[in-house]
Amino acid sequence: MGLERNEQCVYLHGEGDEGPLLQAFEQEGIDMAAAHRSKALVLISPRAANVRGDSFDPYRLVRFWKDLASRARAAGFAATRCAIATSSFLFGPAEADRWLEYESQLTAIAEEHRCLFLCHYRRQVAARQLLDVVRSHSSVIHAGEIAPNLFYLPSRDTPEADPHQLALDSLLDDLANRARLERLAGERKQAEEQHRRAQTYFADGERLSHTGSWAWSVASQEISFWSPGYLRILGLEPNTTPSSAGVRSLVHPDDVALVEGNFVRALRERGGFDCEFRILTGGTVRHVRSVGRPVFDQHGELAEYAGTLIDVTEQHDAETALRASQSTLARVARLTTLGELSTSIAHEVNQPLGAIILHGDAARRWLTHEPPNAGETLRAIEGMMANAHRAREVIARIRTLASQADRPHEWLDLNEIVREVLEVARGELTQAAILVTTQLSAAWVRGDRVQLQQVLLNLIMNAIEAMSTREEGRRELYIRISEDDPESVHIEVRDSGIGVTEQSLGKIFEPFYTTKPQGTGIGLSISRSIIEAHNGRLWARRNEPAPGLSLHIALPRAFPAAEPDVR
């Protein structure tokens, strides 16, 4: 009301309105006696204030307000707050016109004398005149709302101004206002059209990119904003109001803990999150990715999360198909390598088979000997059994490499894998007169045994081919396993072959690039894919100044609680 701010409040009320005003003030809990004593509250009628004669005089009322404001400042009040019952002054059209002269000066009086005027109208004035009254006020109260007056026209005149000049100014201002309103209407229509187009482009962009936008309020713990694309990804109708509980119910049961864990951690750390999970919509499973960032208020408090929901189902399906193709291609590469090793494999199998025949002949001779020699017969039978086991192991290794299904990751001893692969390639190494040197270390990793065997076998076969074309010098294959890095295991396969040029070094891992006349160019490419799928790296270096090439593999170390049972 103003009393609590050391302002003098003046009510220029109509005849007979003083009683209802006093009653209203008392209901508000105002101490009327104290307010009257301090002159902080003044209730006065137009006749008592001598501002109303036989006809309305705007100059007399202007002087009244100026004198009142001056006395209020002299009495120590910070400002003057004035309320006027206009019905006490407006009797007819002529007086209404004179009232407009007065109204046009109120803003200037308020600014000069620190006054606030509240003029109450009950539509007693003609619409044309009331429109002019509205234009003369910087703020308007209507239907319980206070709003800045966009059509306010500051007065440049004094009460003594030429009335014809006032009429002319009013006419010109009215024309300017109409033009401004038409321009504003055109600009608004253009802005609405631009907004509509932006919304259309935004919706099309979401549809093409398979994305949707959302916001989540920390205070309400609910979704506070969602876009059409967000509803479309979740399989909800366009007019649906999504809720946190409703969206949670769409998350695949196996992924609920993952999603809630990521979100709770983001809230605790006041940071962003990025989570990929599955949702169930219309009986189908879709793969989505939700990315969110925190939004803080002006006090630095976490207010909400704003983010994007991305439908990655097509990408997931494509990656699954790619992995299947890579698995098939890797098996083809294994079978190709086994084909190249067919002669050595036959030799590896024929050796124990031939030994079994020899031991069998020896056992028969010792049994037919007079008297039969049981000890020699037993040793011959043991030799037969040992060679049978050896042949079975060779066949088992070949069957493993030729298997179609990928095996689950398990604890693997890299020393054992190296020995197994060297056994498979032993015939080729012997035929090419290659000296093999190994420097192994107790190193454990988790991975697919067959795939890692395939990689090492491919590197060894490439080394054999590179050294077989070399006419002079020693042919040496060096395989080393080291654990210099506490986080990874390093495998080096180094040969003394012809090597590659510096230009070819950067291309040998590209698909279908080969330096061999009969090569397919897929071996090293597949090998790198397999190592990267094990979260490792595969790279090559030239042996300088020595001849040949070194292939390097780095795999994450495994730290089993107890040594696994690896056979």
SS (H, E, C) 475-540: CEEEEEEECCCCCEEEEEEEECCCCCCHHHHCCCCCCCCCCCCCCCCCHHHHHHHHHHHCCCEEEE
Per-residue pLDDT, averaged over 244-265, amounts to 92
Alpha carbon distance 484, 11 (integer Å): 92
Alpha carbon distance 462, 456 (integer Å): 10
pLDDT above 80 (res 249)? yes
3-state secondary structure of 289: strand
User: Which of the pair, 339 or 106, is modelled with greater confidence?
Assistant: 106
Task: Specify the pLDDT at position 555.
Answer: 93
Helix axes 449-468, 313-340, angle to 10 degrees: 50
Maximum mean pLDDT: which of 147-161, 185-199, 333-347: 185-199
Task: Specify the pLDDT at position 6.
Answer: 82
Q: What b/e readout covers 445-471, taking b as 16+ CB neighbours within 10 angstroms?
A: bbbbbbbbbbbbbbbbbbbbbbbbebe
Alpha carbon distance 53, 64 (integer Å): 14
How big is the CA angle at 300 (ends 295 and 301), to the nearest 5 degrees?
Answer: 70
- Domain 210-311 falls in which CATH fold? Beta-Lactamase (3.30.450)
Confidence band for 89, pLDDT divided at 50, 70 and 90: low
Report how far apart, in Å, the C-alpha atoms of 428 and of each of 352, 461, 547 are.
17, 8, 21
CB 174 within 8 A of CB 151: no
CB 169 within 8 A of CB 158: no
Per-residue pLDDT, averaged over 372-395, amounts to 78
Going by C-beta distance under 8 Å and a sequence separation of 6 or more, which residues neighbour residue 228?
Answer: 203, 206, 212, 238
| Percent of the chain's residues with pLDDT above 90 | 20
Per-residue pLDDT, averaged over 199-217, amounts to 87
Confidence band for 93, pLDDT divided at 50, 70 and 90: low
Going by C-beta distance under 8 Å and a sequence separation of 6 or more, which residues neighbour residue 71?
Answer: none
- Domain 408-567 falls in which CATH fold? Heat Shock Protein 90 (3.30.565)
Domain boundaries, the chain: 3-161, 210-311, 316-405, 408-567
User: Which of the pair, 164 or 2, is modelled with greater confidence?
Assistant: 164
User: Which of the pair, 30 or 266, is modelled with greater confidence?
Assistant: 266
CB 536 within 8 A of CB 556: yes
User: Which of the pair, 12 or 107, is modelled with greater confidence?
Assistant: 12
Going by C-beta distance under 8 Å and a sequence separation of 6 or more, which residues neighbour residue 115?
Answer: 65, 69, 79, 80, 81, 82, 109
Per-residue pLDDT, averaged over 377-398, amounts to 74
Per-residue pLDDT, averaged over 12-40, amounts to 81
Task: Specify the pLDDT at position 2.
Answer: 57
The pTM score is: 0.40
CATH 3.20.20.80, domain 3-161, yes or no:
no
Q: Are strands 488-495 and 444-447 parallel, antiparallel or unpaired?
A: unpaired
- Supply the mean pLDDT for the chain: 79
Alpha carbon distance 230, 355 (integer Å): 72
pLDDT above 80 (res 435)? yes
pLDDT above 60 (res 401)? no
CB 133 within 8 A of CB 36: no
Task: Specify the pLDDT at position 478.
Answer: 93
Q: What stretch of H or E contains 99?
A: helix 93-113
pLDDT above 80 (res 428)? no
Longest dimension (CA), the chain: 163
Q: What's the pLDDT tens digit per position in 289-325?
A: 999 999 999 889 999 999 999 999 988 888 777 767 6
Task: Specify the pLDDT at position 134.
Answer: 76
Confidence band for 92, pLDDT divided at 50, 70 and 90: low
pLDDT above 80 (res 427)? no
User: Which of the pair, 240 or 470, is modelled with greater confidence?
Assistant: 240
Alpha carbon distance 226, 490 (integer Å): 50
Per-residue pLDDT, averaged over 94-121, amounts to 72
| Percent of the chain's residues with pLDDT above 70 | 77
Write the DSSP symbol of residue 56. B
Task: Specify the pLDDT at position 566.
Answer: 40
pLDDT above 50 (res 158)? no
Q: What's the pLDDT tens digit per position in 467-505?
A: 887 777 789 999 999 988 888 999 999 998 888 887 777
Task: Specify the pLDDT at position 292.
Answer: 93
Maximum mean pLDDT: which of 259-263, 377-381, 406-410, 502-506: 259-263
Beta pairing partners, 374: none
Alpha carbon distance 135, 256 (integer Å): 61
Nearest in space to 460 (alpha carbons), one of 567, 337, 354, 365: 337
Alpha-helical regions (H) of 122-216: 127-135, 163-209
CB 564 within 8 A of CB 411: yes
518 residue type, one letter = Q
Alpha carbon distance 195, 214 (integer Å): 19
pLDDT above 80 (res 450)? no
